[in-house]
Chains A and B, each alone.
Chain A
Amino acid sequence: MRSFLRTSLLLLAVLIALTVYLPRRYGAPYPAQPGPTFDNAVRSRVTNILGEHHIEVALIGDSALEQGVDAQALSTALGKSSYTIAVPGSTSAFWYLILKNIILEADPRPDAVILLYRDTILTLSDFHVNGGYVAELDQFATAREDVLLERAYLNFMNPLEKWALAYFPLYSSRQRLADKADYYARNLLPVLFLPCKGDCLDRAHAIVFHVDNVAPAFQEKALVEEEEFLFTPRAMDFEGQAGRSFLPEIIRLARENGIRLILAHERTLLFPAAGAEPKALQEYKRALASYLKANDVTRLDFSYDPRLPEDYFADVLHMNETGKAAFTQMLAEALLPLLP
């Protein structure tokens, strides 16, 4: 009992000290706003390109878009200037920010936005928004992103976590503290034995763990494991997720700003055929289709298109050069009658 009391007192003293020190050290308000903080800087390069080149069709998506659509070939086939904004690992939170802070800020704005998605990703608002993705999101976010905070973070926090983030600076500063400890952990021996630290270590890390050096089987496994998040019971519950997701906001922003929004379901190899999908996913897709129809949003479905066979793919999600050429052509054919 004595030991427990002594530990509790020590812990209390340290926590009080940290509660006073950490907000000052990091210039954070107390109580803090739960969820990550973003700065006001938004990557403006793309906005400038959209405006300067009078881009008429903007495509948004993740690495599947990057490796699946050739913007130049698409422009030629459509007879309209098009531009792809592909952010690897991006999800609906990113796409919402890209539409709001990049596309709508362009002058002139594109006439149409094509959003390439798969399965339940459009309504899964907490997918790829934590950890390293916060810094990525920050590149598209302004300092005040209430919708983003609510739909990607606050909706998924339990009451204890919200309380801890607001009133417990040790918890709200944990990422910074863990990064600092990680820095010391990584540099402990290099400072003694190597002539380099900091950037030099980052460079070595980037070279050794470059995607070309990673075993293909591991990449495939990692991809599939990551995708499993899209097929949890929660993810496949359209009614439960849609209202709290970024999809209604994306539709609203496009409609209110006179932009034609077209959603294109990309082809993947996660399931061999539509019939092999979980029943809940099939129901989800039906519900999504009805929802989009009710909101007058056009949906293109390439998910099991036989014109895109397995040998057009580099892995379960990404196409190879042959697939890219074929899909670009198919997308153009599908878009032609839809675009003014």
Chain B
Amino acid sequence: MVFTSYDFLVFFLIVFILYWLARRRQWQNLILLAASYVFYGWVHPWYAVLLGLSTLADYGLALGLARDRTRARRYVTLSLLLNLGALGLFKYYNFFSEGLVAALTGLGLQADALLARVLLPAGLSFYTLKKLAYILDVARGELEPTRDLVGFSLFVAFFPQVTAGPIDRAQKLLPQIQSERAWKAENFYFAWPLIVMGFFKKVVIADTIRVAVDRVYSLKEPTIFLLAAATLGFTLQILADFSAYTDLARAVARLFGFETSENFRSPYLSLTPTDFWNRWHITLSTWLRDYIFFPLRRALLRARWPRWLTDAVPPLGTMFLSGLWHGAGWTFAVWGLFYGALIVVYQAIGMGGAWKPANKVTQFLAWLVMFTFIAASFAVFRAPTLEWLFTVVTHGSLTGSVDYQTLAVVTLSMTAFYAAPLILKMLMDRYLSPASFWHDLYYAGATVAMLAYLNSSSPDFIYFQF
């Protein structure tokens, strides 16, 4: 079920009313849990079965781990095998499904890709990371495992987050799940601007620019200028799409009385790659930092690896895994490695995490360079294959015929047109008081634009596929 669909509107209204009518926390949790499973299993009910089974497994493993600390490593290994096994199997299914179909056909069995594709559950990557963080925190002694099965299941399946995050930790969500919640008007006042912006960014910006971007990336050989224009379009699209989802997820969670994490803080204003990952998909970045980067770095330091290796391997390894988390394919792996390499280089030249620009000119230049890197990385991320991108960049024409130049200018034009409202909002947030009349005018305008662009069947959010 997509937040921007009519189905969701009806679903939400029913759940919202039932939830606040049930004043006891236990009933509220049960209602939310049932709603989360309906939401998640709406298209393919077996998704919900998989979610339920994996939740039960981790619930039991965490309790077992806490009961018998001497076997902690065994429990953690089992959980890692289960979670990463499921993630690996489904994530890489497409990678080998073609081979599987060919093999089955060769054996005289019938199989086809149309059926095989249905098997990939949305949101698996997100709830797997949630559960892994829980198990690892319990193993480290940083978290007491909960005996509340409904609460734990709700933490994993919480419907505003289950398909595309934010990847909130148990330490943040479980205490909220286990405490009393009463309706407060502030919940609504917090949620409505997020709802307006979420719909506006998804319906008006992301879904519109997507059409122009997809067309260019479907060409056999676009010119470099046209590709650059479409890549800027994609840079806008992915931020608008993903931050729209996060806005809606946070707003919906808040309407049920839950505070969830922010996932974006103006990422395209970053000055360094570390800065970028502190602002982009923040809950994933902190997960990767806490459960991969730091443990890996500590392990290498303990093993007394040379300094340059302890500096280089953790960012490269972490970002490589981040790439693979996004998808099975060389484009994602190279995208991750690109950021790993950038972090290493920036650190080597003294522009690591704590770097601050000396003056405005340096700040502008650092921003320009970093923004170019961000956009270039999204060319790799969006490319159908690395080979395609390599051919376009190395053998493609720079500007091509007048028609190609015209189309590139049109694509840039669309990107500028649809980026303008986001830039305006960012400036308003920065320079105007939150109580300013201009904010209200902006939200009213955004709502009108959203209604004008509304389509009964809007496409899924991009991050559902990860």
* Contact indicator A207/B403 (Cβ below 8 Å): yes
Identify the stretch in B302-310, B328-336, B440-448 within 8 Å (CB) of chain A at 4 or more residues: B440-448
* Contact indicator A7/B417 (Cβ below 8 Å): no
Interface membership of B110, Cβ < 8 A: yes
Chain B residues in 8 Å Cβ range of A15: 448
* Contact indicator A171/B454 (Cβ below 8 Å): yes
Chain A residues in 8 Å Cβ range of B435: 2-3
A231 with B114: in contact, given A4-B189, A11-B447, A214-B220 (CB under 8 Å)? Answer: yes
* Contact indicator B409/A194 (Cβ below 8 Å): yes
A188 with B417: in contact, given A1-B189, A11-B447, A271-B112 (CB under 8 Å)? Answer: yes
A275 to B219, CA, bound (A): 35
Within B154-207, the residues touching A (CB, 8 Å) are 185, 188-189, 192-193
Residue A204 contacts which of B219, B403, B414, B418 (CB distance < 8 angstroms)? B403
A203 to B220, CA, bound (A): 19
A181 to B318, CA, bound (A): 42
* Contact indicator B413/A188 (Cβ below 8 Å): yes
* Contact indicator A187/B413 (Cβ below 8 Å): yes
Interface membership of A294, Cβ < 8 A: no
A217 to B383, CA, bound (A): 13
A222 to B211, CA, bound (A): 13
Chain B residues in 8 Å Cβ range of A203: 403
Residue A271 contacts which of B114, B406, B413 (CB distance < 8 angstroms)? B114
Chain A residues in 8 Å Cβ range of B349: none
A301 to B448, CA, bound (A): 51
Chain A residues in 8 Å Cβ range of B287: none
* Contact indicator A174/B6 (Cβ below 8 Å): no
* Contact indicator A170/B451 (Cβ below 8 Å): yes
- Write the nearest CB–CB distance from B225 to chain A, whole angstroms: 12
* Contact indicator A204/B448 (Cβ below 8 Å): no
Interface membership of B351, Cβ < 8 A: no
Residue B409 contacts which of A189, A207, A224 (CB distance < 8 angstroms)? A189
Question: Chain B, 448-459, contact with A by CB distance < 8 Å: what is the 0/1 string?
Answer: 110111101100
User: Which of A11, A222, A224 has the largest number of chain B CB atoms within 10 A?
Assistant: A11
A270 to B402, CA, bound (A): 39
Chain A residues in 8 Å Cβ range of B188: 4
A14 with B409: in contact, given A184-B417, A209-B215 (CB under 8 Å)? Answer: no
Residue A276 contacts which of B111, B185, B403, B449 (CB distance < 8 angstroms)? B111
A188 to B413, CA, bound (A): 6
Question: Chain A, 226-243, contact with B by CB distance < 8 Å: what is the 0/1 string?
Answer: 011001000000000000
- Write the nearest CB–CB distance from B66 to chain A, whole angstroms: 43
- Write the nearest CB–CB distance from B212 to chain A, whole angstroms: 9
Within A1-18, the residues touching B (CB, 8 Å) are 1-4, 6-7, 10-11, 14-15, 18
User: Considering only CB atoms, which chain A residue lies closest to B413 in the complex?
Assistant: A189
User: Considering only CB atoms, which chain A residue lies closest to B208 in the complex?
Assistant: A182
Interface membership of A272, Cβ < 8 A: yes
User: Considering only CB atoms, which chain A residue lies closest to B117 in the complex?
Assistant: A228
* Contact indicator B6/A160 (Cβ below 8 Å): yes
* Contact indicator B454/A276 (Cβ below 8 Å): no
A-B contact pairs, 30 of them (CB 8 A): A3-B439, A4-B188, A4-B189, A4-B192, A6-B437, A6-B440, A7-B440, A130-B457, A160-B9, A161-B456, A170-B448, A171-B451, A178-B208, A181-B452, A185-B417, A189-B412, A190-B406, A193-B409, A194-B409, A201-B406, A204-B403, A204-B410, A208-B403, A209-B215, A215-B218, A217-B384, A224-B114, A271-B114, A272-B110, A276-B115
Q: Which residues of A contact B (CB under 8 A)?
A: 1-4, 6-7, 10-11, 14-15, 18, 130, 157-158, 160-161, 168, 170-171, 173-174, 177-178, 181-182, 184-190, 193-194, 196, 200-201, 203-205, 207-209, 213-215, 217-219, 222, 224, 227-228, 231, 270-273, 275-276, 278
Q: Which residues of B contact A (CB under 8 A)?
A: 6, 9, 105, 110-115, 185, 188-189, 192-193, 208, 215, 218-221, 226, 384, 388, 402-404, 406-407, 409-410, 412-414, 416-418, 434-435, 437, 439-441, 443-445, 447-449, 451-454, 456-457
